[in-house]
Amino acid sequence: MEVFYKEPVPSPQENVLHGGMLPDVQAAFRIFAAHLRKVNANWSFPEHHHPMFELNLVLEGSQKMRVGEHHFNQKQGDLLWILPNEAHASLGGADERFMEYMCVHFEVADPWFRQQLSQLKQTLYPSGSKIAMTLHPILMDLAQMARQTDTSGLSLKLQTMQASFQIFAALTEVLIQEADTSLLPSEDIGLAAKIAARIEQQAATATHEQDPFRIIDIAKQLGYSPAHCNRVFQKAYGISPRHYLSTIKLRQAKLLLMDPTLSIEHIADKLGYKDLSQFSKQFKRWTNLSPTSYRHLSW
């Protein structure tokens, strides 16, 4: 950020008795496909995975869930915390009655914050646990919003936005409480951050003449084996280095498509694709929409 002054200013430290600087913060937090469901005993949902974090709270009844290789009996008030790309399935209610739950998917654009969230490895948080109690009232508010059929679209979006900020704040509070319990050594966290920085640099300077992304090149630059870099990055960020590059390029593409002065051909070239067809196919794989369709939705 550039700041311009009309007149010379004194040194920032002149006449200062005490002070301190806070770190810069840039965060993007997106709520996706938040939904409330009340289902009967015959309902189930097949195994699937996605690149988002997921919060799943049982409001009434109980739910049988499988996350990875582990099975959970999720009771009323219990919270499931599902990491990106973790395979999971709902096996339905745990008894013969109905079950109601609230589910929120979200993605985090800030690499450092995503890394911190990926350190929360516990899957089931019982109703009396700190994280469940912190998030419970927010998810209950979202459930109540979902039940309201007479709320205007604008009001509902503003309320959902407010709740998303509350989730962001609540998760930050949880991370502050868990700050001294990281499961990754500081050396690994530092290495993951360096890998992320190299990936972001490559995404920012991509051209279609460049060689395809290879973790072996980054590993060589940093002095580690590719297998070690892949393993450390996956643990820290919850996704592979290649997938991380894809999330950055998708975010860049969405932002550029929101600018109506840029042609889609120009955007494809700016993002490093050799032609419009290659960009369109990749964007549709990411979003199930063509770049043109996404642009129309954004205007």
**165-191 residue pLDDT tens:** 999 999 988 888 776 555 567 788 789
Pair 103, 216 in one domain: no
Q: What is the CATH number of the domain that holds 235?
A: 1.10.10.60
Instruction: Give the model confidence (pLDDT) of 100-141 as tens digits.
Output: 999 999 888 776 787 788 878 899 999 989 899 999 999 999
List C-alpha distances in Å: 110 to 33, 150, 237, 244: 20, 35, 11, 11
37 and 177 both lie in a single domain: yes
Evaluate whether residue 287 is within a structural domain.
Answer: yes
Quote the number of domains for the chain. 2
pLDDT band, residue 56 (cuts 50/70/90): very high
Of 145, 138, 234, give the one whose Cα is nearest residue 191. Answer: 234
Whether residues 78 and 130 share a domain: the answer is: yes
Domain range for residue 215?
Answer: 186-298
CB of 106 closer than 8 Å to CB of 166 = no
CATH code for position 157: 2.60.120.280
Q: Tell me the average pLDDT of the chain.
A: 83
Q: How confident is the model at residue 5 (pLDDT cuts 50, 70, 90)?
A: very low
266 and 128 fall within a common domain: no
133 & 191 share domain: no
Is 83 a domain residue? Answer: yes
Confidence (pTM): 0.66
| Domain final position from 181, 196, 231 | 181
Asked if residue 227 and residue 157 are part of one domain, the reply reads no
Last residue of a domain, one of 151, 181, 211: 181
| pLDDT the model gives residue 118 | 82
Query: Do 96 and 70 belong together in one domain?
Result: yes
Q: In whole angstroms, what is the distance from residue 95 CA to residue 29 CA?
A: 36
Whether 23 maps to a domain, the answer reads: no
